[in-house]
Amino acid sequence: MKYKRILLKLSGESLMGERQYGIDNNRVQQYAQDIKTVFDAGIEVAIVIGGGNIFRGLSAEKSGMERAQADYMGMLATVINCMAMQSALEDLGIETRLQSAIKMEQICEPYIRRRAMTHLHTGKIVIFGAGTGNPYFTTDTAASLRAIEIKADVVMKGTRVDGIYTADPEKDPSATRYDEISFQEVYDKGLNVMDMTAITLCKENKLPIVVFDMNKEGNFMKLAQGEHVGTIVK
């Protein structure tokens, strides 16, 4: 296998499936099955999930809500998504641990780096909820931060598109996909891969990012085996 430890970042929107909001259980189960295939191959997996399918802090701020309050609400939304993923994975017989950057003892452990590392070593999937625990930071930044903290080999960002394009392929039919791109090119071209804080964290710590289509079954396993799927930023 190409990677020993992977941090998988999923957007909240990806959990909606064909719905307009909320959680599509069929989509969550498909993701869980794909994650299980990689996990069963002996690869350690940690997961960060966004909350945009339930609540978006930035959107709420635009409508007049205070940004910090809105961001905390968004963090709670991520925990709901994490619980849905935890349930789907445990239905498949995988031991998981959900760690939250905001304390809520009844449903998840507090985030403790060493404990997360131990869980991964002992064959559990660790799901990180509530972003970084701080307002003004996105779950992309949380994914990059947690990946660096647990010494992951790569951040894999599962989206609805099959990589990074010169423009939004859903709006511009002439957009072309990059197979590989440097962090500097992402800066220079202003590409919407992750927010700049997340990109900078990965760049400074020499942590590659792969953007790929998680909705296509088997893609996650292909990447874990080293096949070229999506776009790699390094």
Sketch the domain layout of the chain as residue ranges. Answer: 5-233
Provide CB contacts within 8 A for 106, sequence distance 6+.
none
- Provide the pLDDT confidence category of residue 61 given band limits of 50, 70 and 90: confident
Q: 190-232: per-residue pLDDT in tens? A: 898 899 999 999 999 999 999 999 999 999 999 999 999 999 9
Question: What's the N-to-C CA distance of the chain in angstroms?
Answer: 19
- Predicted pLDDT of residue 154: 98
Q: Is residue 58 predicted with pLDDT exceeding 80?
A: no
Detail the residues annotated as belonging to a binding site for ATP: 9-12, 52, 56, 159, 165, 168
Side chain identity, residue 122 = T
Residue 213: is it exposed, middle or buried by C-beta count within 10 angstroms (0-12/13-18/19+)? Answer: middle
Binding residues: 9-12, 51-52, 56, 71, 132-139, 159, 165, 168
Match domain 5-233 to its CATH number in 3.40.1160.10, 3.40.50.970, 1.10.15.40, 3.40.50.12780. Answer: 3.40.1160.10
Whether 187 shows a pLDDT value over 80: the answer reads yes
Residue in this structure with the two tokens 């957009």, named with its chain if needed: 175
In this structure, what token pair is assigned to residue 123? 């064959």
105 burial (CB, 10 Å; 0-12 / 13-18 / 19+) is exposed
More confident residue, 127 or 159: 127
Contacts of 100 (CB under 8 A, 6+ apart): 79, 82, 107, 108, 109, 110, 111, 128, 129, 130, 133
| Burial grade of 30 (CB within 10 A; 0-12, 13-18, 19 or more) | middle
Predicted local distance difference test score (pLDDT) of residue 1:
76
φ, ψ at 122 (rounded to 5°): -95, 20
pLDDT band at 111 (very low <50, low <70, confident <90, very high): very high
pLDDT higher than 90, residue 173: no
Write the pLDDT tens digit of every residue in 66-98: 999 999 999 999 999 999 999 999 999 999 999
Instruction: Look at residue 99 in the predicted model and tell me its pLDDT.
Output: 98
Sequence ranges of the binding site for UMP: 51, 71, 132-139
